[in-house]
Structure 1
Amino acid sequence: MKLVSVWTVAALLPSCLGAEIYVSPSGSDDATGAIASPLKSIQAAVDLATAGSTIYLREGTYSPTTNIQITKSGSAGSPIVLQAYEGEKVVIDGEEMPGTPAELDASLDNDDRGILHIQDAEYWEFYDLELINGPYGVYSRDASNNHYERIITRDNYESGFQLQGAASNNSVFYLDSYGNRDPRKNGESADGFACKEGEGEGNILRGARLWNNVDDGLDLWEFKSAVTIEDTISWGNGVNRWDFSPFEGDGNGFKLGGGGDGEIGPANHIITNCIAFENSKDGFTDNSQTGDFTLTRNTASNNAAVGFKFASAVATLNDNIAAANGEKPTSLSADQISEGNSWDGSESWTDSSFISVDTTLVQGSRAASGLIEASDFLLPKSGEAIGATTHWS
């Protein structure tokens, strides 16, 4: 999805249809919102925006004391866009918001969740934003048809990025989500990316990197519909870097479901060209979720427990690699369909099976497009077309 075109508006108030609205940390909410007279408050710009508006955030750090509530909608042909202006670096710091952090075992009101709190809102696009120290970074509830691209969610006090409830046709491209933790739960729930407690269709996560989060890299807890996950890397999750006691973090790379009795419904997730390494539990697990999963050309390497663990879903696994995981390569029930994977042959896969196991190769900066630099990381020395590659298209 590309950025929408810019509508030029001369000498008109920013509340007009299709306006460009500018915001700056040095602006004023008594200003007009024009480029030479920017607003100060992101919320003020959101309140003014209508279908077709583009809100440009100028460079700097924004420190709102309450979260940014997005509860209106654009339209399919005229979305509302919130983005950094022309490559400028924009950071939204939620440290002064309620719940940063909430006390141990405290509840966090729904309305306080997220630096960006998006609820019952459709046809928004978000680009090039860094969200830090918030009560969640992005929290979207019962919101569909929204697009997020080149977003960073780091060091938040709950999950970095969460879709919850009724959610359809949301696309999240090139997300970096790391260092998120939840002191109020001693690590039980802060994931890099989570899609939880709901259902919908057409949701896609592409090109994400999810690392060093206190719980799981990716968590689809009690989400009953298909999610498509492509070109995503999850590593270093579930490690107690914050000295929580008792520590409750899980640490799966890709937790593809789970929940209580009656809350687990069939979900036909599709996972392609993804990598899980050095997580404190499993690489890929259905976590008791039911449904028909398809996993093609993924790699699980050096996770503390199992590379691929599927017992409740019926997974079709083709051309995947499990190497050097702590307990065993796989734990698969008889219902799973496995063909052409590393464990289907006689060879034992180890670190020496790859051209490179240098993890720094996937930790560099992204290109302007959002792509990471392609490398030989975890490519088989044999040249087989098997496992994941960082040569993203």
Structure 2
Amino acid sequence: MGPGSGTGTVIRGCRTYANSDDGLVVADFASPVTIDATWSFGNGVNRWDLPATGSGHGFDLGSAAAHRVTRSAAWKNNGHGFTGAGTAPHDLTTNTAFRNAGDGFAFPTAPVVLRDSFAMGNRTQEVLADTAQDDGNTWNEQGWSTDVLRSLDPTAAEGPRNPDGSLPSTTYLTNTKDSTVGAPMTAS
């Protein structure tokens, strides 16, 4: 998403994948954006042997406005799963960051609110500013491991959409420990 503004912008049920740079970028959008039930995976990989060096983040929220991300997932990106520069107080709830080459949730300077999110297998699960508010996340509690995941196979999540156009049904990255933690991996 390029530079712009406009209140009430919602991105829902999208997949951003296999981009040479980042997946979903709202870094330069001056008004708050709500991102819901959106998946970003496999970004930042040079598949064409061109001299491209993208950062490969799943979701880049930037610092132009305080964005909200809910029920979304980032996996196997070459950069961070979710990130934002500056001091915008983004709100992230029930999201999943899995096996990203960078950090799962990287907000080193922003006073983000980060709740009920799942991070595992990333370089570091979370890098947060001292002013961040985080609770109910997998790194705040004990007993979380890949053993609680219903599926580690992304085939269905990366496959065709449902006939009605919604994201495909999948158990990928959903957990058996606490269904209120992490992305539910549905678009409803």
Query: Post-superposition shift, 1:302?
Result: 0.3
Q: Which amino acid aligns with 1:367?
A: N
Q: Deviations over 1:22-76 (max 9, x none)?
A: xxxxxxxxxxxxxxxxxxxxxxxxxxxxxxxxxxxxxxxxxxxxxxxxxxxxxxx
CA RMSD after TM alignment: 1.5
Bigger-Rg structure (1/2)? 1
Match of 1:268 among 50, 54, 66: 66
Q: Deviations over 1:262-312 (max 9, x none)?
A: xx54x12010000000000100001x1432211110000000010001123
Query: Percent identity between the aligned chains?
Result: 37
SS in 1 for 2:147: helix
Q: Deviations over 1:123-167 (max 9, x none)?
A: xxxxxxxxxxxxxxxxxxxxxxxxxxxxxxxxxxxxxxxxxxxxx
Match of 1:313 among 103, 110, 127: 110
Residue segments in structure 1 that go unaligned for 5+ positions in a row: 1-193, 258-263
Per the normalisation by structure 2, the TM-score is: 0.93
Answer yes or no: is 1:283 the counterpart of 2:77: no
Answer yes or no: is 1:303 the counterpart of 2:124: no
Judging by fraction of residues, say which structure has more strand.
1
The 8 Å contact of residues 110 and 128 in structure 2, kept in 1 or not, is answered as no
How far apart in 1 are the matches of 2:3 and 2:180?
A: 36
Match of 1:252 among 18, 36, 57: 57
Q: Which has the higher contact order (CA 8 A, sep 6+)?
A: 2
How far apart in 1 are the matches of 2:187 and 2:24?
A: 20
Match of 1:211 among 6, 17, 39: 17
2:185 is aligned to 390
Residue segments in structure 2 that go unaligned for 5+ positions in a row: none
1:226 is aligned to 32
1:323 is aligned to 120
Alpha-carbon distance change, 292 to 278 in structure 1, aligned in 2, over 3 angstroms: same
Alpha-carbon distance change, 199 to 373 in structure 1, aligned in 2, over 3 angstroms: closer
Alpha-carbon distance change, 289 to 368 in structure 1, aligned in 2, over 3 angstroms: farther
Per the normalisation by structure 1, the TM-score is: 0.46
Match of 1:356 among 140, 151, 160: 151
Answer yes or no: is 1:344 the counterpart of 2:140: yes
1:191 is aligned to none
Q: Deviations over 1:216-238 (max 9, x none)?
A: 00112322220110010000000
Answer yes or no: is 1:200 the counterpart of 2:14: no
How far apart in 1 are the matches of 2:50 and 2:8?
A: 37
Query: Post-superposition shift, 1:364?
Result: 2.2
Q: Which amino acid aligns with 1:332?
A: L
Query: Post-superposition shift, 1:348?
Result: 4.8
Q: Which amino acid aligns with 2:56?
A: G
